[in-house]
Structure 1
Amino acid sequence: MGIQDIIEGKKHWRAHTARVKALPPDYQIVYKEMQRYLFKVGPIDLPDGNLLPGIVDFFEEGAAAGKGVLELIGSDIAAFCDDLIKDSPTHADVYQAQKSARSPRPGD
């Protein structure tokens, strides 16, 4: 990764955070909780993928339609996030695969 890639990445992240800050306050709170949760358990490609920008798109559409954020995602933020990433490999999956590859099988 070169310096230009780092600079471009920072520009994209700043633009992304500006979009989040433009959301209504309740949307911002829920987005930050989702982001925190996804960075803990989320998919491997979270920083470079389209998941976070997609959530902001979804939230912008909901806010424009006058809906409350919980009308869009429900009351269980973690369950909503889990559903979003159900088919994506996570850091936990990689860890488990590595652990399984290293541990000897019984009887070996």
Structure 2
Amino acid sequence: MSIRDMIEGKKEWRAHVARVKALPEDYQIVYREIQKYFFKVGPVELTEGTGLLSGIVELFEGGAALGKGVLEVTGSDVAAFCDDLIKDSKTYDDIIQEAIDKEFDKKVKDKKK
């Protein structure tokens, strides 16, 4: 990653944060909780730009523009909303589990020989 890429990434992130700060307060609170949840669960796409998070901001901007409350957009179970967004995404937990499974399978095969 070049310095230019890092600077560009920082600019994109600052613009993203500015969009979040422009949302109504209830949307900002739910966005921050979603962000924490995703950082904890670790969908791999989260580290690839701001795509997933930007999509949520776009959804929230649309809901706010229509005068909807944030829970009208996400539903009352925000964790279920998050899980649905990443249900087909690979997480870091998945990657670690796959590595452990491969290592276990290898040891079992070696033991059978």
Deviation at 1:73, TM superposition (A): 0.7
In structure 2, the partner of 1:58 is 59
1:81 maps to amino acid? C
RMSD: 1.3
Runs (4+) off by over 3 Å = none
Deviates more, 1:98-107 or 1:6-15: 98-107
Secondary structure in 2 aligned to 1:89? coil
In structure 2, the partner of 1:25 is 25
Relative to its length, the structure with more helix (as a share) is 2
1:51 maps to amino acid? L
Extract unaligned runs of 5+ from structure 2: none
- How many residue pairs align between the two structures? 108
**TM-score, structure 1 normalization:** 0.94
In structure 1, the partner of 2:87 is 86
| Cα contact 1:42–1:85 (8 A) shared by 2 | no
Deviation digits for residues 47-81 of structure 1, max 9, x if unmatched?
Answer: 22411000000000000000000011111111110
Secondary structure in 1 aligned to 2:108? coil
Extract unaligned runs of 5+ from structure 1: none
Structure of higher CA gyration radius: 2
